[in-house]
Structure 1
């Protein structure tokens, strides 16, 4: 009986701390690899496409892109708030796009809406050796 009470207390405490952490940081994006293909006339440079889904209010953690990655970003649906390097924060709506130079810093990437989802297609041309396309800013 005592073990059951201790286990229950532990589980309740874990759930409280887990939900408090989620609330403090908010929801995050969902990233799915959509496509990957080597580019025949650019040896060692694959083209990688990622779908980035942002639930309402979701955001990416500030991150850096691979030093070799040229990125084309296209908003499929909704609106995305984005900042690249030291540029201005901009809102891109469905059908709009932007590019990011190799090694770009991405301090802001989030759904511009707290009520509607948003989706982005990010297309990378990157060195085949760069397995990590993004890394969190430390």
Structure 2
């Protein structure tokens, strides 16, 4: 994983963590796990981050890099999610969803106020896209 991508991912995580969340007043923590160009798809990279939610924690509404196709997999607990105008759903450990490029992630939070939750987010993204997550204003 490149140092530049790690610095950018940690910076984005800190920016998101500094924003107040409406659900429980806590936000998530994001840890970079993998970053590699895809040799068979010029200009594309595979980037993986682990998102940890404390009990009651939530992410502010956000978008991702315009080129990003995202696969999200719940590792622990239950995550409540709403993408674009889709239904609000609760995904349990072992369940997953995807987000198309230019999606708006309106709700992303731990569905529990007493147990932690964790998900793995896998991005297929233009290698030039350095900002993966942008909170909505």
TM (normalized to structure 2)?
Answer: 0.82
Residues 23-64 of structure 1, C-alpha deviations (whole Å, 9 max, x = no match): 996110000101111111011101000000000000001001
Distance 2:88 2:26 in 1: 20
Cα-Cα RMSD: 1.7
Q: Which runs of 4+ in 1 moved over 2 A?
A: 21-25
Question: Does residue 132 of structure 1 match 2:131?
Answer: yes
The structure with more strand, counted as a fraction of residues: 2
**How many residues end up aligned between the 2 structures?**
118
The structure with more helix, counted as a fraction of residues: 1
Instruction: Show the 5 A alignment for 1:74-113.
Output: 74-113=73-112
Instruction: Show the 5 A alignment for 1:40-119.
Output: 40-119=39-118
* Structure 1 runs not aligned, ≥5 long: 1-20
Distance 1:112 1:24 in 2: 10
Question: Does residue 30 of structure 1 match 2:46?
Answer: no
Distance 1:106 1:23 in 2: 15
SS at match of 1:87: coil
Residues 89-132 of structure 1, C-alpha deviations (whole Å, 9 max, x = no match): 00000000000000110010000000000000000000011100
TM (normalized to structure 1)?
Answer: 0.82
SS at match of 1:126: strand
Distance 1:107 1:73 in 2: 15
